[in-house]
Amino acid sequence: MRKSFNLLAALAACAVSLNMAAQNPIVQTCFTTDPAPMVSGDRIYVYTGHDENNADFFWMQEWRVYSSADMVNWTDHGSPLALESFTWADDRAWASQTVERNGKFYWYICAHSKLSGGMAIGVAVSDSPTGPFKDAIGKPLYENGSWDHIDPTVLIDDDGQAWLIWGNPRVYCLKLNKDMISADGDPVITEPSVEGFGGMAARPNNRPNNGQNAQPVRQRGSYTEGPWLMKHGKKYMLLYAAGGIPEHIAYSTSSKPNGPWTYAGIIMPQSDTGSFTNHCGVAEFKGHNYFFYHTGKLPHGGGYGRSVAVEEFKWNDDGTFPTIQPTAEGVKPIGTLNPYKRVEAETMAFSLGVTSEMNDETGVYVADIHNGDYIKLQSVDFGANGPKSFSVCAASALRGGQIEIHIDNQKGNMIGRIEIGHTGGWEKWQTVSADLRETVTGVHDLYFVFKGRKGPKLFNLDYWQFK
């Protein structure tokens, strides 16, 4: 039986898909939160949380990873880290960040600790940016029973010193040892002052009197949670969710990674994102600057159903952040996708109706494919001669269905059609090939439009390739 979430998502996503240029949110197969971008090699990775469907709180169980070489086609790497990875954690797989050092990847997370009863900071490690990750120390890196310990952000400074910052409602700053999994001393705690973090302004919907006679509250800095520590030129910058609920993104600067901080202004104003939290991460990738954040804009989303979005920005001439507004369009491709190499089916610029699943043998694959669903890839380079055939690795426990291959939009020129039959199970994979009806050359958007019996799941997809 099809999940009701997909059905509703499919209906509502029709509205989004009318705007063919819409790239935000960047993942449509599930909710994703608290983005933490990291560049490694020629790809950008985004580490996220995962809001559950139909949630009434941040009941989050796992973290996820996505990556891209061109900023528009994102590959789903599934969930290589979950609450079960930490024997001491029992709830709230909240915000996180990963950093690379000496060929290892350290993923700093926060979760509720059954040892102390509060939130705790933990660290997992892997030899690969996509995992598998394992708890690096078998216990929290820091906890003391307080609920303050959420949202770790990490920076390795130019001198090699690594710093970990986290906290709500105060800012904790911990010097890490070179091993990245132990602390050099205790965290230094900063109470957010107005000078350091801007004044907390009263808002209509976060004050008991509903904003009547609301006056800016000047005694406390606007820092709320979700810090992001970075360096731009010689300046250290601490970005954070600010202003209480609903949150905006602001930042403070310092000449040192551990402060003291001076308030520098708002980056992303509070706006109609459909989510009362916001959470940012920044990365420079292939000469472009990107600001990641989350909204409640995926159909059926909201405050507990958030989704990662991204905007490109240019620094102001004086080295300050520009104001960045959330958009539905998102960013433009900065590269092309090669369709002549095996492409994982879970690589997509946009999708309607489908989800992803993962097992140890196949890795991540596309599931929940129904009649009328589609996957879009952007900026696909078919070259000067164009392909002659298409092959796809698929599985179906039922009767299968068809994939129509369209160019430029989901009703655009159909260059081919491939029939997928019964393979003996949802994970019994078979490769099927078909000659194309028409030649396509040059760079195009590519759509796989799924057709078959109305109602049941049609097939699952692992990977595809043009020849």
Which one of residues 76, 151, 357, 462 is an interface residue with ligand FUB (CB under 6 A)? 151
Per CB under 6 A, the list member of 124, 150, 173, 250 interacting with ligand FUB is: 150
Tokens 């905006």, located at residue = 248
Element at 16 (helix H, strand E): helix 4-18
Nearest distance from C-beta of residue 411 to ligand FUB, angstroms: 37
Give the nearest distance from C-beta 388 to ligand FUB in angstroms: 47
* 346 CA to centre of own chain: 14
**Residues of span 203-242 touching ligand FUB by CB under 6 A:** 225-226, 241
Q: Among residues 374, 344, 337, which one has the least CA distance to residue 463?
A: 344
Q: Residue 148 interacts with ligand FUB (CB under 6 A)?
A: no
State in angstroms the smallest separation of the CB of 442 from ligand FUB: 41
User: Rounded to whole angstroms, how far apart are CA atoms 205 and 227?
Assistant: 23
Q: Which is nearer to ligand FUB, 225 or 346 (CB)?
A: 225
Query: If binding is defined by CB under 6 A, does position 253 make contact with ligand FUB?
Result: no
Neighbours of 3 (CB within 10 A): 11
Bridge partner residues of 435 (DSSP): 389
Number of residues in contact with ligand FUB, rule: CB under 6 A? 13
Contact 464, 450 (CB under 8 A): no
Among 64, 77, 279, 376, interactor with ligand FUB by CB under 6 A = 279
Residue among 113 and 277 whose Cβ is closer to ligand FUB: 277
Pairing of strands 62-68, 401-407: unpaired
Q: Which is nearer to ligand FUB, 241 or 337 (CB)?
A: 241
Q: Which of 35, 37, 49, 452 binds ligand FUB (CB under 6 A)?
A: 49
Cβ proximity to ligand FUB, 279 vs 444, nearer residue: 279
Question: Which residue is listed with tokens 């250290």?
Answer: 236
- Shortest spacing between CB 64 and ligand FUB, in angstroms: 12
Q: Shortest distance, CB of residue 224 to ligand FUB, whole angstroms?
A: 8
- Going from the C-alpha of 385 to that of each of 382, 427, 439, the distances in angstroms are 7, 35, 8
Nearest residue to ligand FUB, scored by beta-carbon proximity: 94
Write phi, then psi, for 437 (nearest 5 degrees): -85, -30
Give the residue with the Cβ less far from ligand FUB, 168 or 410: 168
List the structure tokens of 99. 């950093």
Q: Which is nearer to ligand FUB, 52 or 157 (CB)?
A: 52
Given the complex with ligand FUB, which of 228 and 365 has the nearer CB atom?
228
Of 31, 45, 58, 261, which lies in the binding site for ligand FUB, with binding defined by CB under 6 A?
A: 58
Q: Which is nearer to ligand FUB, 190 or 336 (CB)?
A: 190
Q: Does 277 contact ligand FUB by CB under 6 A?
A: yes
Tokens of 258: 């551990």
∠ CA 270-276-280, nearest 5°, is 65
- Whole-number minimum distance, CB 293 to ligand FUB, in Å? 10
C-beta of 43: minimal distance to ligand FUB in Å?
24
Scan residues 85-104 and list those touching ligand FUB (CB under 6 A). 94-95
What x-and-dash track marks residues 282-311 binding ligand FUB by CB under 6 A?
------------------------------
Distances (CA, A) of 159 to 99, 162, 166, 209, 215: 16, 9, 21, 50, 44
CB 139 to ligand FUB: min, Å: 21
Question: Rounded to 10 degrees, what is the CA torsion of 310, 100, 249, 305?
Answer: 60
Q: How far is the CB of 95 from ligand FUB (least distance, A)?
A: 4
96 vs 43: CA distance, rounded Å: 19
Q: Six-digit token pair at 173? A: 């700053």
Which listed residue (24, 33, 97, 252) binds ligand FUB by CB under 6 A?
33
What kind and span of H or E run contains 378?
strand 374-381
Range 187-206, binding ligand FUB (CB under 6 A): none
Q: How far is the CB of 438 from ligand FUB (least distance, A)?
A: 46
Q: How far, CA to CA in Å, does 120 sit from each of 11, 117, 148, 164, 412? A: 39, 9, 8, 13, 51
Q: Residues 396, 420: contact at Cβ < 8 Å? A: yes
Rounded Cα distance between 429 and 422, Å, is: 10
Q: In the complex with ligand FUB, which residue's Cβ is closer, 151 or 373?
A: 151
Nearer to ligand FUB, 277 or 347 (CB): 277
Cβ-based burial of 39 (10 A; exposed 0-12, middle 13-18, buried ≥19): middle
**Minimum CB–partner distance for residue 399 and ligand FUB (Å):** 41
206: helix, coil or strand?
Answer: coil
Q: Given candidates 10, 17, 34, 156, which one binds ligand FUB under the rule CB under 6 A?
A: 34
CA angle centred on 436, ends 434 and 437, rounded to 5°: 130
**Site of interaction with ligand FUB (CB under 6 A):** 33-34, 49, 58, 94-95, 150-151, 225-226, 241, 277, 279
